[in-house]
Structure 1
Amino acid sequence: MSAETVEDFRLRARRWIRAELGAFRPETASGLRSVAREAELAAVAYDRELQRKFYDAGFAGLAIPTRYGGRGLTGDHQRAFNEELAGYEYPTRFQVPTLSPCAAVLLDFGTEEQKLRHIPAILRGEEIWMQFLSEPGGGSDVAGAVTTAVRDGDDWILNGAKIWTTGAWWSDWALCLARTDWDVPKHRGLTVFILPIHQPGVQVHQIEMLNGAKDFCQEFLTDVRVPDTDRVGEVNDGWTVGRRWMFHERMLADSPYVTWSDRPGLTDAPLLDVACRAGVLDEPGTRELVGESQMLDLVETALAGRLATGISSGAISDQSAALGRLFRGLAGVRQSTIRAEVAAGAAIAWSEDDVHAGAAETFLMRQTACIGGGTTEMARNVISERLLGMPREPSPDSTLPFRDVPRGPARG
């Protein structure tokens, strides 16, 4: 298998995809939309079956080492597979964050036992993973985590809350960042753990969004016992793990571990079709808007490829992944805005089969492109400080013991 060229692999993948897979169905894919609970659970179950089908056929974990159930191929093989997959179904719920960043972090920092226990199970469709990272009072300050982990013999006891975990209610395992030392500066007292989501002490609450979607969740951890064997990385060195974790999150568009394709979505009718149906194709500025949207797609694809090649070869810093994150966020907001502008009044009311369906909803939800996966504000900081060498903004809490850092409103 390792000697198979990318082109030979592409031909083999093409034959299998066209013979074995159905058309991509956006209504069953993962996404922030209003779906009945039973329908979502059925879609999750189907994704598990589909992931197992990919695994049995030898098309799961293409760039993951064979000792962990993967195929031991290259990122180029994964990209070729993704290109051939366009328009066909694939297990969307196993890609982000299960395979990246979660499985990627395990590959980077997990023990051999952890890798052998979890990576093959993920590839077989038995485990869906989430990241317990953001906290209700933390905003984008991941290092300011106040979820605590206290040592108790060979175990750790976790208490706290996490939020904005997409799909936690139907997932199996979580990668969790917790504070293990309050007497050192905030970046030095963090540790990463893995834990099953559905267990005593873990409460998962779904959050209803303005469009009716309930996939975002908040989790409350109360005296959750985690064995030390489920710790990832060294004690109090969670920020080292976290920085790599953020890297994988920023590189999702070209991760060697993620299977994805350009696929039609519920709101992804070609922009020219939207313009024609809205009767505005010949109006001044419409074609410029369509061209701008297509240009953003081209630039995003080219940028992702450039960053992946540069980072994998060592020609550029892995912190350059922030460039892709920033561009994706801004481009996503702009393209949502363009779609609403082109649809004009037709975006406000539509029938179920209308190409305008969801244009206004997408516009209202557009800012999620700048929040999920690490905010664009954080990406700007990384670019300015770590790539351009600009001075870091003064931060008095960077040297204080974390327990002495002021949190919450000032009290008189």
Structure 2
Amino acid sequence: MDFNDTPQEAEYRAQVRAWIDANAQEYMTSPAKPYELDEFVAHCKAWQAKKHDAGYVGITWPKAVGGQGLTPMHQIIFNQEESRTYAPTGLYSIGLGMCIPTVFTHGQPEIARRYVPKALRGEEVWCQLFSEPVAGSDLASIRTKAVREGDEWVINGQKVWTSYAHRSDFGIVVCRTDFDAPKHKGLTMFIVDMHAPGVEVRQIKQMSGGAEFNEVFFTDVRVKDSHRLGEVGEGWKVSLTTLMHERLAVGGKPRHAPGYDTLMKVATGIETENGPAIERTDVRNRIAETYINDEGIKLTQMRALSALSRGQIPGPEQSISKVVIAKTMQDMSSFALDLAEGSGFAVEKGSDLEKLQGSYLAAAGLRIAGGTDEILRNIIAERVLGLPGDMRPDKDTPFSQIKPL
């Protein structure tokens, strides 16, 4: 494992850092209060346009589609430097991180020429329409159907947990086009206009107070066959491109997420009947455990970065990191709120305890997004440890013969 940049990487990092310092001054500190949605969108669009003009978008994408044609390490270096700021990027994380790479990998050249440049500039927002009420972790069990009529497809069905669908212009949607084929072989993916007739988006109010997730309903929505991604029946293969990028996008620790140092500050400020909570052995043990997990995650991710720096393909680091990160965040936050007792419900805005409260509410979703803990443990068990795979009796069964749970 190598913790140091190569000379070329160090040069690029210095270049990026200088640009960040010159252009992100307004984002160097956390906003005094959370942005309202319209304000958040405006800031995201402005920051994306600024990055585009400076050549810091599509860093690893081919130059032929408007990217920079650089290595994954260049993207990682930019992400690391950008993470020093509070610059808003969430509006484009799905589209640029997952959707557009699928579009230019599997779409027709004219489709890529139409959509990629506008996405890079931030002029159009994208969402990923995969999960359904009865098909979350088992994505191949989706029931949203697409029926061909001439040179168009008619889509009917429902998706759920679609991030920023209510602010998106386009989405990639995977549908079932053959109910008599086995579940992995009867799928096809399309680009859908989120403003098309028959598309209805309903926001989902979360316990954290946010509402970035949505239900999306399709009623006789028409999509041209030219907007199909990949061949008919190869939607699972196309989806794997998207899911690969999704794992990379959600595998790391969220920006500015609280860690062991936050827990230490909170424990120092809580008074118990026997003195400060930080002096209790059980509290110190929990802080030490969180520190070990945080350092383990950092070192595991350094292994992936070292592999990328040498031009190699990382191993299972992202799956391992995500399983540990989500559980560590949830356990640490839960412990802090229990320690605070009643104060864990009524917290001061901007306080460390509020950060931990937000982390607690978000961690449950993180254990689902990008692959549930159970799915990722299966991947690690089967592909890393070489253990026998799960029994999958429906793998070769025609989907029409599978009864929904």
- Per the TM superposition, whether the score is higher than 0.5 is yes
Structure 1 residue 232, shift from structure 2 partner: 0.9
Residue equivalent to 2:298: 301
> Which residue, out of 230, 235, 238, partners 1:238?
235
Corresponding position of 1:227: 224
Q: Deviation string for 1:281-333 (max 9, x for gaps)?
A: 22223233223223222222222332455589796686764333323332332
Instruction: Tell me whether 1:147 sits opposite 2:140 in the alignment.
Output: no
Partner SS state of residue 127, structure 2: strand
Residues 1:90 and 2:94 aligned together: no
**Corresponding residue SS for 1:281:** helix
1:252/1:291 Cα in 2 relative to 1: closer, same or farther (>3 Å)? Answer: same
Which residue is 1:249 aligned to?
A: 246
When residues 261 and 379 of structure 1 are mapped into structure 2, their CA distance, relative to the original with a 3 A threshold, is: closer
Q: 1:77 aligns with which of 62, 74, 77?
A: 74
Asked if structure 2 preserves the Cα contact closer than 8 Å seen for 1:172 and 1:197, the reply is yes
* TM-score after normalising by structure 1: 0.86
Give the direction of change, closer, same or farther, for the CA distance of 1:315–1:352 in structure 2 (3 Å limit). Answer: closer
1:112 aligned residue: 109
Q: Return the match for 1:162 from 152, 159, 165.
A: 159
Correspondence 1:397 to 2:394: yes
1:340 aligns with 2:337: yes
What aligned pairs does 1:345-384 form with structure 2 within 5 A after superposition?
345-357=342-354, 359-360=356-357, 362-384=359-381
Q: Relative to structure 2, which stretch is displaced further, 148-157 or 284-293?
A: 284-293
SS at match of 2:17: helix
Match of 1:272 in 2: 264
- The 5-angstrom pairing of residues 34-53 of structure 1 reads 39-53=36-50
Partner of 2:404: 407
Structure 1 residue matching 2:155: 3-state secondary structure: strand
Change (3 A) 1:367 1:241: same
Correspondence for 1:171 among 163, 168, 172: 168
Residue 215 of structure 2 is matched in structure 1 by 218
Residues 167-216 of structure 1: per-residue CA shift (max 9 Å, x gap): 11112211111001011110000011111212211000011122332221
Per-residue CA deviation, residues 62-107 of structure 1 (Å, 9 max, x unaligned), is 2222232222222222222223224323342244212222123234
Q: Given that residues 195 and 226 in structure 1 are in contact (C-alpha distance below 8 angstroms), is that contact kept between their aligned partners in structure 2?
A: yes
Alignment-derived partner of residue 178 in structure 2: 181
Gaps of 5+ in 1: 30-34
Shift of 1:228: 1.1
Partner letter of residue 10 of structure 1?
Answer: R
The amino acid across from 1:7 in the alignment is A
1:263 aligns with 2:256: yes
The alpha-carbon distance between structure 1 residues 392 and 355, as it changes in their structure 2 partners (threshold 3 A), is closer
Alignment-mate amino acid for residue 265 of structure 2: D
Q: 2:301, 2:317 within 8 Å by CA — same for their partners in 1?
A: no
Distance 1:150 1:90, change over 3 A: same
Q: Residue 104 and residue 148 in structure 1: after superposition, are their counterparts in 2 closer, same or farther (change >3 A)?
A: same
> Normalization by structure 2: what TM-score?
0.87
- 1:395 alignment partner, SS class: coil
Deviation, structure 1 residue 388: 3.1
Q: Answer whether contact 1:166 1:215 (CA < 8 A) is retained.
A: yes
Give ranges in structure 2 of 5+ residues lacking alignment.
1-6, 272-276
Q: State the alpha-carbon separation in 1 of the partners of residues 308 and 315 from structure 2.
A: 5
| Per-residue deviation, residues 39-61 of structure 1 (Å, max 9, x unmatched) | 20221122011100111122222
- The Cα of 1:146 is off from its aligned counterpart by 0.4
Q: Distance in 2 between the 1:309 and 1:112 partners?
A: 34
The CA RMSD measured in Å over matched residues stands at 2.9
Q: Which amino acid aligns with 1:84?
A: E
- Count residues with an aligned counterpart: 393
- The alignment-based identity, stated in percent, is 33
Separation in structure 1 between the aligned mates of residue 261 and residue 315 of structure 2, nearest angstrom:
35
CA distance in 2, matches of 1:84, 1:320: 21
Partners in 2 of 1:150 and 1:144 — Cα distance?
17
